[in-house]
């Protein structure tokens, strides 16, 4: 069973398959980690940047083989939790729904609108029902540190922004893109949900660093989104993202003080103890093991 979080930082990074490349990571190891929720996107790569442990997982797998709607988000978060990660930094390509958020800009996202429809969005269900608070889905402490790190690395940062999570894998129609702007969304992408939801259920503070690669389809004077344009901006920004992670290692306080998100499941389990399914609890040993370890200790 998993005890309360340690005072040392262990940063989990979810991003592209090449994100860890080019960073001077000490004692780097690639390790396959099994999940009770199926196959993750691939093995994790773990090592140290300065005094801080970082563990990377490629969201789309090696070579970008898994489309956004087919990613096993539950397994990816579960694997990071099993590795002892304390906080998650997600790096993701995004489209812009605002004129001022030009391609090349980094956005420290702080809100989400979830339009995904076919993905497993929770670790919990029949046999163990839970409802976590998601009013503020991003950890403000971690997001601020990531934003400062990217600025130090020379990136142009926009603090705050609402991310519209679409199902994909197709890009938006012009009508959809205009509607999302009216809803108050600032950027759009296909991967942050249910990733952020699951991180909260796993009691892992989550920050999303979005890299604006293009304007979405709302601009009448431009053609629709093109993959070639997205890849060009992604490659240009990759070095800044990597340098930002290195800068983050230097900005983290020596001691990780507790976060309210570390105990997000306190009071969230609705199922009575006598109806909890042992098989379901066994799958939740990483995600919710902290709670059941306390219960066992009280017996």
Give me the active site residues, please. Answer: 214, 216
Give the tokens for residue 171: 């890009």
Distances, alpha carbon 66 to alpha carbons 34, 63, 70, 73, 104, in Å: 18, 9, 6, 11, 25
To the nearest 10°, the Cα dihedral for 89, 30, 69, 288? -60
CA 296 to chain centre: 31
State the helix-helix crossing angle for 140-152 and 227-251, rounded to 10 degrees: 100
CA 119, 124, 127: angle at the middle one, nearest 5?
130
Give the tokens for residue 69: 């709607």
Classify 39 as helix, strand or coil: coil
CA 152, 153, 159: angle at the middle one, nearest 5?
65
Please, which residues bridge with residue 52 across strands? 49
* DSSP string covering 112-181: EEE---SS---S-BTTB-B----SS-S-HHHHHHHHHHHHHTT--EEE--EEEE---SS---HHHHHHHH
What percent of the residues of the chain are helix, what percent strand, and what percent coil, each to the nearest 5? 30, 20, 45
Per the rule left: phi > 0, alpha: psi between -120 and 50, beta: everything else, 161 is left
């Amino acid at each position: 069973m998993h005890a309360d979080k340690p005072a040392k930082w262990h940063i989990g990074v979810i991003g592209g398959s090449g994100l860890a490349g080019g960073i001077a990571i000490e004692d780097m190891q690639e390790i396959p980690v099994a999940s009770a929720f199926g196959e993750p996107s691939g093995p994790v790569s773990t090592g140290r940047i300065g005094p801080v442990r970082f563990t990377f997982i490629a969201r789309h797998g090696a070579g970008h083989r898994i489309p956004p709607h087919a990613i096993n988000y539950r397994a990816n978060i579960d694997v990071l939790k099993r590795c002892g990660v304390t906080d998650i930094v997600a790096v993701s390509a995004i489209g812009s729904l605002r004129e001022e958020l030009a391609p090349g800009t980094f956005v420290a996202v702080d809100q989400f609108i979830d339009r995904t429809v076919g993905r497993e969005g929770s670790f919990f269900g029949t046999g163990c029902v839970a409802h976590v608070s998601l009013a503020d889905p991003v950890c403000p402490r971690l997001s601020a540190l990531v934003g400062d790190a990217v600025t130090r690395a020379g990136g142009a940062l926009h603090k705050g922004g609402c991310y519209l999570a679409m199902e994909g894998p197709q890009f938006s129609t012009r009508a959809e893109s205009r509607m999302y702007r009216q809803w108050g969304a600032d950027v759009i992408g296909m991967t942050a949900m249910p990733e952020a939801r699951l991180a909260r259920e796993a009691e892992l503070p989550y920050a999303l660093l979005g890299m604006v690669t293009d304007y979405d389809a709302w601009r009448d004077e431009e053609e629709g989104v093109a993959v070639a344009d997205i890849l060009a901006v992604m490659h240009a920004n990759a070095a800044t993202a990597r340098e930002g992670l290195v800068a983050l290692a230097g900005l983290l306080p020596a001691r990780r003080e507790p976060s309210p998100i570390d105990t997000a499941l306190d009071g969230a389990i609705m199922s009575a103890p006598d109806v909890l399914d042992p098989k379901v609890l066994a799958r939740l040993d990483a995600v919710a093991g902290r709670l059941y370890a306390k219960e066992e200790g009280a017996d």
